Amino acid sequence: MKAIVMFVIAVLLAGCKKDEIDPRQAILGKWENFYVGNGEYRPPIEDSLGYWHFLPDSVLLEYDYSTKKTLEKKYWIDSLLHVGIQREDGFWLTLQYSPKFYADTMELHVEHASAIFYVSKWKRIN
């Protein structure tokens, strides 16, 4: 009887464990934007303007398809995703996002700023 109770407790504890996604690992790679809006239904973007490439060393490469140019930014993640670029005077311009990760998609919500479109959705391209 004692063994059965221990087995049931072990199954319940294992079933309650939530698989958490580490955003610092999930974000790595290339991401292409396919939606901008405010959460309402909008058709997907037909032609993405470029992609974001998150590297393990906190470097974000933002590539523009039309100009074929890459802009280097910095990113870091705590409870939010912070994307920043340093001005010539040393001041950091940053945007904060609340990231959500799904299978091969990422959803970003702009935080602490006014934006016309505060939701963007991205698909992994590598």
Q: What is the mean pLDDT of residues 1-17?
A: 47
Domain spans in the chain, listed from the N-terminal domain onward: 21-124
CA 28 and chain centroid, separation: 9
* Each residue's pLDDT tens digit, 57-107: 999 999 999 999 999 999 999 999 999 999 999 999 999 999 999 989 999
Question: How far apart are the C-alpha atoms of 79 and 56, rounded to whole Å?
Answer: 18
Q: What is the pTM of this model?
A: 0.78
Which residue is associated with the tokens 């963007």? 120
Question: How far apart are the C-alpha atoms of 39 and 15, rounded to whole Å?
Answer: 32
Write the CATH number of the domain with boundaries 21-124.
2.40.128.540
